[in-house]
């Protein structure tokens, strides 16, 4: 697995779909980054204005993503 340095601050949540797709949330702008776990390259960024994202996960088939803003 490659490392990923696309966030500009702490990462709060991480999820993997299979062996090649990773999702991480965090940074100063509370973005979710989808990236290739083999190469470490960004695939897509889900951005907006909002609160910190404390959890992120994939559906069992890896085709959908969900996130949560409530801190446990």
**pLDDT greater at residue 44 or residue 1:** 44
Q: What are phi and psi of 25, to 5 degrees?
A: -125, 145
Q: Check residue 8 and give its pLDDT.
A: 94
Segment 54-62 mean pLDDT: 95
Q: Is the pLDDT of residue 9 over 80?
A: yes
| pTM value > 0.75 | yes
Closest CA to 1 of 9, 10, 14: 14
Q: Which tokens hold the place of 62?
A: 């890896």
Q: Check residue 48 and give its pLDDT.
A: 82
């Amino acid at each position: 697995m490659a490392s990923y340095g696309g966030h500009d601050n702490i990462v709060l949540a991480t999820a993997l779909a299979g062996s090649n797709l990773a999702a991480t949330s965090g940074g100063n702008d509370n973005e979710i980054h989808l990236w290739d776990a083999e190469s470490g390259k960004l695939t897509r960024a889900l951005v907006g204005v909002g609160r910190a994202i404390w959890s992120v996960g994939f559906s069992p088939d890896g085709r959908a993503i969900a996130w949560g803003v409530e801190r446990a």
